[in-house]
């Protein structure tokens, strides 16, 4: 079976500090990978998605970047965090080869910027 790991679970960072959130998937190959941000009372905002190593699509202009150095590893980064980067960040995967399959989510990272 497939599993997705996301860490850390919570993170408190000062404004202007760098960020690195990591997500890995086990039990499948060539997944589609996604980063979302979820604000309180709002839906999931797609930040980035990737269909393969080194292939990143960005959905909104922002202070964040994403990388996919390995097939099942997806990293969300920032060089200098802003207060507005606070939120709940979710990583998800879906089968690439099986068409219209659902996404499966990690347990998220609660990021607080001070």
Partner 1 sequence: EDQVTQSPEALRLQEGESSSLNCSYTVSGLRGLFWYRQDPGKGPEFLFTLYSAGEEKEKERLKATLTKKESFLHITAPKPEDSATYLCAVKRSGNQFYFGTGTSLTVIP
Instruction: Give the interface with partner 1 as residue ranges (CB under 8 A).
Output: 6, 32, 34, 41-44, 46, 49, 51, 57, 59, 90, 92, 99-108, 110
Shortest distance in whole angstroms from residue 89 CB to partner 1: 10
Least distance in angstroms from the C-beta of 7 to partner 1: 13
Nearer to partner 1, 65 or 105 (CB): 105
Rounded Cα gap, residues 68 and 51, in angstroms? 9
Extended beta strands in 8-72, E state: 10-13, 19-26, 32-38, 44-52, 55-58, 65-70
Structure tokens given for 1: 């079976």
Cα-Cα-Cα-Cα dihedral sign, residues 54, 65, 2, 104: negative
Q: Which is nearer to partner 1, 15 or 39 (CB)?
A: 39
Residue whose CB is less far from partner 1, 39 or 82: 39
């Amino acid at each position: 079976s497939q599993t997705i790991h996301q860490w850390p679970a919570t993170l408190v960072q000062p404004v202007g500090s760098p960020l690195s959130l990591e997500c890995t998937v086990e039990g499948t190959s060539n997944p589609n990978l996604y980063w979302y941000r979820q604000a309180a009372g709002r839906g999931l905002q797609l930040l980035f998605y990737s269909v393969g190593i080194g292939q990143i699509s960005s959905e909104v202009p922002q202070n964040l970047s994403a990388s996919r150095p390995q097939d099942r590893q997806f990293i969300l980064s920032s060089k200098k965090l802003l207060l507005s980067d606070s939120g709940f960040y979710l990583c998800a995967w879906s089968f690439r080869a099986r068409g219209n399959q659902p996404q499966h989510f990690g347990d998220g990272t609660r990021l607080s910027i001070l």
